[in-house]
Every structure is written in structure tokens, then in C-alpha cells.
Amino acid sequence: MDFTTSKFQEFAIRNFEILDSSNDEAKRLIISKTINLDNLVITTKQQTKGKGRQGREWISEEGNLFSSFIFDISKENHPEFYSYFCALAICKILKTSGLSPQIKWPNDVLVENAKIAGILLEKHNNFLICGIGINIDSSPDHLIERKTTSFKNLKIDFQIEEALRMLTANLSKIIKEYKKSGLANIINDIKTLLVTGNAEILLGDIKTKGEIIGINENGEMLFKTGNEIKKISSGEIFFI
């Protein structure tokens, strides 16, 4: 498959015209072990088999951003925190564009209560693949489970290249901050963006109704069901 390469800060970027899924390309590269994988980014203009969470399809028409970041997590105790890093990195782009984003736990990014970006984390061997899709030019308008939106729909002129540049810059900054000072500042930022209140979440395979109260200092979501407050790790969102 043909691709061009570019580099931004510590990230080596492979730009494809078309792929089945950038996460699947990342997985193939991890299996092949032929290149340096840490901080490698796969990006593509289109996906023929874009994947969403919980086995859903991610409709992937040209004009939106589809990228997968690979991180070596062999020395990382909490790879699940990367879901917050990605969500925060996306929210920072949206804020810079004058929008007011929110995070629907664990990692949907919403604007005006409609989904504008999604994150799919997959682990493979010692690597984490953070697949990020941002709706720039279009968003599916026929989904029953959720309203969706895009930069264009919100009347904001935005280029994919600029989105990718900002995404890499923001992620780089957030991960450095985490490695230097821990999670505290990141959690504080996430708290200001988190959608709280009544929610239905998947615990294991079971849909459970309750109330999202917040996030604690360990990054666990506090979920009230009846009189009980459960602490839920975002680690439950991995696809292996």
C-alpha cells in the first residue's frame, strides 16, 4: 500500500489515501515488527472498514480525520489513562476553534450534545493503538443511538492537516505533562469537561443505569447506582 511520510515533533506520520481501518494498519505494523513503532501515527483520507467501539462501524468518508497513534506501553502502568489524554487533546482543538466541547465518559467528545469525535483504544502486545476520528466535513445523520455533528455543521472552517497538527501537538504536551507531574492537572481539566448526571453504561456485558458523579484523583469514574458508588476504571473500554 502506498503512503507518504511526514514528521511532527516526536511523531513519525504515515499518510495513506485509503485503508480498511487505520487501527488495523497499526495492528499489522505491530505484528510485522519491521519499523520503530513508538509514536508512529497512521492517518488516512478514507477508511473502507472504519471501526467504532462495541463492534460498531465508523462511517469514514473523505473530508474527516482518521488517525491511529501507536504508543509503547511496556513500561506504562495505566494505559487506560490514554483515553483521557486523547479526549482532552481533541477538546483542546475544539476550544481553540471557539467551541464548547464535553466528554461523555469514557471518551466520546460532544459539542452541543452531538458527537463530533470518537476514540477507539486497542491493545496489541506491548503497544496501545489510539484510534481517533474527528468529524470535520461531515457526520452521519441517520444514527439512532446518538446525534452527530461536524466542524462544517457548526459553521467552522477547519482543515484536516491543521486538525492533525494540533492533535499531535496537544497529545505530545499532555503525555509529557503526565510523565513529569502525574495525572492531577489532567484530571482537573477532564472534570471541567465531563458530562455528569443520569447515564446508562456497560459494566462487563451488562447495561447499568445510574448517575455519573465525577472522576476521582486516580482517574476512576464515580458511578452511583442506588445507594452504592462504584469506581469504574476507563480500562474497561479496551478492545484486545
> Which residues of the chain form contacts with ligand BTN (CB under 6 A)?
21-23, 47, 50-53, 56, 58, 66-68, 108, 118-120, 131-133
For the CB of residue 108, give the shortest distance to ligand BTN in the complex, in Å. Answer: 6
Closest to ligand BTN by CB, 121 vs 183, is 121
Closest to ligand BTN by CB, 48 vs 225, is 48
Q: Put the strands of the sheet holding 197-203 in their side by side order.
A: 197-203, 206-215, 221-225, 228-232
For the CB of residue 110, give the shortest distance to ligand BTN in the complex, in Å. Answer: 11
For the CB of residue 116, give the shortest distance to ligand BTN in the complex, in Å. Answer: 10
For the CB of residue 177, give the shortest distance to ligand BTN in the complex, in Å. Answer: 24
For the CB of residue 118, give the shortest distance to ligand BTN in the complex, in Å. Answer: 2
Q: What is the DSSP string of 77-115?
A: S-GGGHHHHHHHHHHHHHHHTT--EEEETTTEEEETTEE
Q: In this structure, are residues 231 and 221 in contact, taking their beta carbons and an 8 Å threshold?
A: yes
Q: Tell me how far apart the alpha carbons of residues 89 and 145 are, in angstroms, rounded to a whole number.
A: 25
Closest to ligand BTN by CB, 22 vs 153, is 22
Closest to ligand BTN by CB, 50 vs 210, is 50
- β-strand partners of 42: 14, 68
Q: What is the DSSP string of 192-211?
A: HHB--EEEEEEETTEEEEEE
In the complex, residue closest to ligand BTN by CB: 118
Closest to ligand BTN by CB, 46 vs 177, is 46
For the CB of residue 239, give the shortest distance to ligand BTN in the complex, in Å. Answer: 10
Q: Put the strands of the sheet holding 127-134 in their side by side order.
A: 3-8, 11-19, 40-47, 65-72, 127-134, 114-124, 108-111, 101-104
Q: Tell me how far apart the alpha carbons of residues 114 and 184 are, in angstroms, rounded to a whole number.
A: 28
Closest to ligand BTN by CB, 49 vs 209, is 49
